[in-house]
Chains A and B, each alone.
Chain A
Amino acid sequence: MRTDTQHNAFMLVCILLVLTQTVMAKTWTVCTSCEHSSIKGTIERAEAHDTLLVQKGTYREYEILVDKPLYIKGIGYPIVDGEKKGEIFQVRSDHVTLDGLFIINVGVSYTKDNAAIRVIQSKDFLIQNMVLEQLFFGIYLEKSSHGKVYHNRIIGEAVDEYNSGNGIQLWYSSDIEVRKNHVQGTRDGIYLEFSDQITITGNTSMDNLRYGLHFMFSNHDVYTHNTFENNGAGVAVMFSKFITMKNNTFRKNWGTAAYGMLLKEINDAEISNNTFEENTIGINIEGSNRIDYTDNDFIGNGWAIRVIGACYTNTFKGNNFLYNSFDISYNSKLNDNIFESNYWSSYTGYDLDRNGIGDVPYRPVKLFSYVVNRTPETIVLLRSLFMDIIDFSERVSPVFTPDNLQDAQPLMKIRP
């Protein structure tokens, strides 16, 4: 009984606190026919911690500066039309929330990176439920931290790389959560440069000109449960350390220069439970060390994994390699990576003691993929009888491919 009363009292205090907050902060209603008909003007008049309710309508405004902590909420998706004149929202204050606006027509410039929403040196911001269309850059976070970009929809119409921008760009930012956004038709869907401790979860990035997600010099970031589909070249992770990549889906990045994921100069990363499906190259690895690849599914890719060079102490464990044209392509005779307990759909060995592990090791590198690495033109012999014959003979007794590159314990059954 006593605890109950205590609890009630606590609740009351809480409600009171919230009430005083609301009483203190003023709510401004902006609509096209009201007293306050412009967002820009109302922001100038508002005090810190006020709320702006933007009613349905079209507001032809650009370069709207939010320089105090405000809660700006759109009712019924009001349209903010920048008329291609420049940047639209610029946030230069902590504790700003932007919610439910429909922003269109960001000005395209060849000298300035105009964005629909730019956050500069701010903390604790929240950008949610926004719809951005006909944009140059979408959401641009500059030297900001501890914010959240949640459930936005960014739809670009990018045609050329040189005159299009990125969907969500983080530059020198940290501790930011990017969740449940949908980005399509921009240059890079999500782009991180010099940004640490970023969490990217549950986003969909598709039909972008270049990369679905792009890391540059960003460390200690996590991205999970995202879907990257049909991007120009997939996801690129470059020059970064301690990145965790889990439960993502990389699909249909298909073309002569496309891949699911590109790793370049990545160290100490963790790649697990991802699905790579129907990409020309599942993962393209270059100069990446100490990475754990566990429990991923590689399904129907041209190359599941393509190792270009200088990759040491990587571990591939418990992955499923299903119906890829080439499981692994490797360009040197030296191998320092471990392949263990994976399932390979083209494994033809047997399991006499019935412990679920094949008795003969599997050699994932085909001679053909070795030859193609050396002389790319030989790819014209793809699927010819001759290649099948020499692949078979190489598999029986390896001469050209590294003979210690093998899975000594291939699984007999697919990992569920």
Chain B
Amino acid sequence: MLKILKYSFYDLIRSRWSYVYFLFYLTLGFVLLFLNNDVSKAVITLMNVIIVLIPLIGTIFGVMYYYNSREFTELLLAQPIKRSSIFMGQYFGVAGSLTLSLVLGLGIPFVLYGLLRSNAIFDFSLLLVTGAFLTFIFVGLSFVIAISNENKIKGFGYAVLLWLFLAVVYDGLFLMSLIVFEEYPLDTFSLVATMLNPIDLSRILILLKLDISALLGYTGAIFKKFFGTDLGFLVSMAVLFLWTVLPILGLRHKAKRKDF
């Protein structure tokens, strides 16, 4: 598995897209910090970018990589290697290289602009950790979709739909249910609904760490009471971890049964 991981990883590192992705974050980081020299304010702006773009890019990249390397996968399948290690290797290769681009691309400008000396370092590391989680989650989901669909167009369609659902539609449904049931106590409901969507969960996790959380008012206080404690933090990290593990298990399951 490690060999395949290494191969996938180097293959991606050598590919142009990885560089484009890396350069995109590098420029974003530099431009943001150049425009306002305040590290903690830049973290807020970055959050907006991260919770929308990382899932999208993770999804598209995952699907693309799977379909593109199909011939190579078939070649590997002919060798005496365990199936799960082939797919796991590819998965970790893609997710790992995307995460590396993210961490380096954002990390370099922030470190140069004195992140280590500012007290935003914790917020920033939380941002990177949730970014990494989101990458792993969405690459995993897209691999599952790709392996279940032979038809590339269908696979792409489902993957984009999944992103659209989690990033936009879910919040719409969430909002509708909040308004429809406004007569009822909604605190627990909104907590659970936030937990169930990795994008929402990451957004709330980062928001609560920032000053802006005061805007959340009464509801925010309940959220803070939950997420602010060590237990709440652990639970939300566990949920993100679960979101990462579930697609991986699904991928293994599919890979084992699939007839190539």
Chain B CB count within 10 A is highest, among A255, A257, A378, for A378
Q: Who on chain B is nearest to A368 by CB?
A: B175
CB under 8 Å from chain B, chain A span 372-402: 374-387, 389-390
Give the residues in chain A near B187, CB-CB below 8 Å.
377
Is A224 at the interface (CB under 8 A from chain B)? no
Q: For the complex, give the distance between the alpha carbons of A196 and B215 in Å.
A: 36
The secondary structure that dominates the B interface is: helix
Is A102 at the interface (CB under 8 A from chain B)? no
Is A325 at the interface (CB under 8 A from chain B)? yes
Is B157 at the interface (CB under 8 A from chain A)? no
Shortest Cβ distance from residue B195 to the other chain A in the assembled complex, whole angstroms = 11
B182 and A380 within 8 A (CB):
no
Q: For the complex, give the distance between the alpha carbons of A255 and B187 in Å.
A: 20
A371 and B175 within 8 A (CB):
yes
Interface string of B74-114 (1 = CB under 8 A from A): 00000000000000000000000000000000000000000
A380 and B214 within 8 A (CB):
no
CB under 8 Å from chain B, chain A span 263-319: 280, 302-303
A382 and B211 within 8 A (CB):
no
B217 and A256 within 8 A (CB):
yes
Q: Who on chain A is nearest to B167 by CB?
A: A385
B216 and A256 within 8 A (CB):
yes
Interface string of B176-218 (1 = CB under 8 A from A): 0011001000110010001000001001100100011011111
Q: Say yes or no: A379-B179 contact (C-beta < 8 A), given A256-B221, A384-B171, A389-B168.
A: no
A255 and B214 within 8 A (CB):
yes
Interface residues on B, range: 20 to 34
Give the residues in chain B near A256, CB-CB below 8 Å.
214, 216-218, 220-221
Give the residues in chain A near B211, CB-CB below 8 Å.
254
A280 and B175 within 8 A (CB):
no
B215 and A382 within 8 A (CB):
yes
Q: Who on chain B is nearest to A380 by CB?
A: B190
Give the residues in chain A near B212, CB-CB below 8 Å.
302, 325, 382
Q: Size of chain A's interface in residues, with CB distance under 8 A?
A: 26
Tell me which of B168, B182, B221 contacts A386 (CB under 8 A). Answer: B168
Give the residues in chain A near B178, CB-CB below 8 Å.
375, 377-378
Q: For the complex, give the distance between the alpha carbons of A376 and B223 in Å.
A: 13
B179 and A376 within 8 A (CB):
no
Shortest Cβ distance from residue B91 to the other chain A in the assembled complex, whole angstroms = 26
Shortest Cβ distance from residue B66 to the other chain A in the assembled complex, whole angstroms = 26
Taking Cβ atoms with an 8 Å cutoff, the residues of A that contact B are: 254-258, 280, 302-303, 325, 371, 374-387, 389-390
**Pairs across A and B, CB under 8 Å, 15 listed:** A254-B211, A256-B214, A256-B221, A302-B212, A302-B215, A325-B212, A371-B175, A374-B179, A375-B186, A378-B178, A380-B204, A383-B48, A384-B203, A385-B52, A389-B168
Instruction: Knowing that A371-B179, A375-B186, A380-B216 touch, tell me 8 more A-B residue pairs with CB under 8 angstroms.
Output: A302-B212, A302-B214, A375-B182, A379-B217, A382-B215, A384-B51, A386-B167, A387-B171
